[in-house]
Amino acid sequence: MKRSIQLDRRAFLKGIGGAAMALPVLDAMGAEVTGQIPRRFCAIYTANGMSLPQAEHDLQDWSWFPAKGGNGDFAFGKSTEPLAPFRKQLSFLGGLYHPNGPKADPHVCSDMWLTGAPLQNPKPGAYNSAGLDQVIALHTKQYCRQPSLVLSIDAGTGYLSRTGTISYNLDGRPIPAENSPRRVFDRLFRADHASLAAEHEKLQRRIKLVDAVAESARALDGQLGATDRERMDQYMTSLDEVESRLIASERWIDIPLKKQDYSHLNLDVTNEGEPAEYYRNMFDLIALAFDADITRTVTFMLNREDGMGISDTFPLKLGLSKTHHNLSHATDKEGQLQFARYDLFLSKQIAHFLERLNGYQDRNGKVLDNTIVMFGSGASTTHNSHNLPTLIAGGANMGLKHGTYWRSEGEMRMSNVHLSILRSLGIEQESFSDSTGTLSNSIFERL
Partner 1 sequence: MTLRNPRLRLGSRSAVALLVLGGMAFTARYLLGQAAAIAPVGLEASFERIVKPFFQQNCVPCHNSDMSTAGIRVDQLDGQFEDRHIPVWEAIRRRIREGSMPPRGMPQPTNAERRQMAEWIDRALEVASQRPAPKNGLVRRLTISQYRNTLRELLLLEDDLTAGLPPDAVSKDGFVNNKDTLQLSPLLTEAYFEIAEEALNRSIVDPKSKPTIQNFRVDLGTGINPAPLPEKLVLGADSMLLENPDFLVTQFKPTKPFAFEPFTMRTKYRFIEGYRGNDTVRGWREYDSIYHAVFACMRGSKGYPKGDPYNVVAEGLLLRPAIPNDEQFGADGTYGPKANFKISVRELPEDGRFRVTIMAAKYNDGLLLDAGTPPETSDGAVWKDAKTPGSVTIPKAGVYQADIYEREQKLPLADSTGLRTGLAGSWPEDTAAAGRLDAKAKLVDSPVGKAVSLSGGSDAFTVPREAIPTDDAMNVGEGDFSVAAWVHPGQLRKAGIVSLGGSERMLGWYLEMADTRGTLRFQTAGPETQANGTVSSPPGVIRANTWQHVAAVVRRGLNETRLYVNGYLVARAATGTAQFDDPKADLQLGRSPGAEALEGELAEVRLYNRPLDEGEIQALLQPGKQFVERAPERKLAVTLTLGGRQFAGALQQPAFLAVRLEAGPLAIAVTHSGARDLDRIVLTPLAAGSAVAKRFLAFERRSPRVGVHLGLRRDCGSSLAPVGAPQTVASEKLTRFVFEGAIRNFPSPSVEKDNVNYLAGVREIGVRSEYTDGRDMPRLLIRSVEFEGPYYESWPPASHRNLLADFDRKNDLPAYARKIMGSFAARAYRRPATATEEAGLMAVYQKSLDSGRGFQESIRDALLVALTSPQFLLLVEKSNTPAPEPLDDYELSSKLSYFLWNGPPDRNTLRLAAAGTLRKQLDSEVSRMVADPRFSRFLGEFTFQWLNLDKFQVLEPDRKRYPQLTRETRTQLKQEPVEFLQYLVRNNLPVRNLIQSDFLVANETVASYYDLPDKPDSGFQFVAIPHRRRELGGLLTQAAILAGLSDGRESNPVKRGAWVARKIIAEPPADPPPNVPALKEDTAGLTLRQRIEQHRNQNGCRQCHAKIDPWGVAFEEFDAGGRLKPQPVDAKSTLPDHTEIDGANGLKRYLAEDRIDQVAFSFLKHLTKYAAGRTLTYSELAYLKQDGLKLKANGYRMQDMIRYVANSKMFLEK
> Using CA atoms, how far apart are residues 276 and 82, in angstroms rounded to an integer?
14
Minimum Å gap between C-beta 194 and partner 1 is: 17
Query: According to DSSP H, which parts of 330-386 are helical?
Result: 333-359
* Closer residue to partner 1 (CB): 260 or 431: 431
CB 379 within 8 A of CB 106: yes
Minimum Å gap between C-beta 211 and partner 1 is: 6
> Using CA atoms, how far apart are residues 122 and 245, in angstroms rounded to an integer?
33
Write the single-letter amino acid at 205: R
Minimum Å gap between C-beta 379 and partner 1 is: 12
Please name every residue paired with 158 in a beta bridge, in sequence order, or none if there are none: 163
Minimum Å gap between C-beta 235 and partner 1 is: 5
* Closer residue to partner 1 (CB): 172 or 181: 172
Nearest to 51 by CA among 41, 63, 43: 63
* Closer residue to partner 1 (CB): 254 or 306: 306
* Closer residue to partner 1 (CB): 159 or 262: 159
**Cα–chain-centroid distance for residue 442?**
21
* Closer residue to partner 1 (CB): 137 or 287: 137
Minimum Å gap between C-beta 121 and partner 1 is: 6
Sign of CA dihedral 202, 204, 209, 214: positive
* Closer residue to partner 1 (CB): 260 or 321: 321
* Closer residue to partner 1 (CB): 21 or 220: 220
Minimum Å gap between C-beta 122 and partner 1 is: 5
Sign of CA dihedral 324, 325, 326, 330: positive
Minimum Å gap between C-beta 315 and partner 1 is: 14
DSSP 278-325: HHHHHHHHHHHHHHTTSBSEEEEE-S-STT-SGGGGHHHHTT-SS-HH
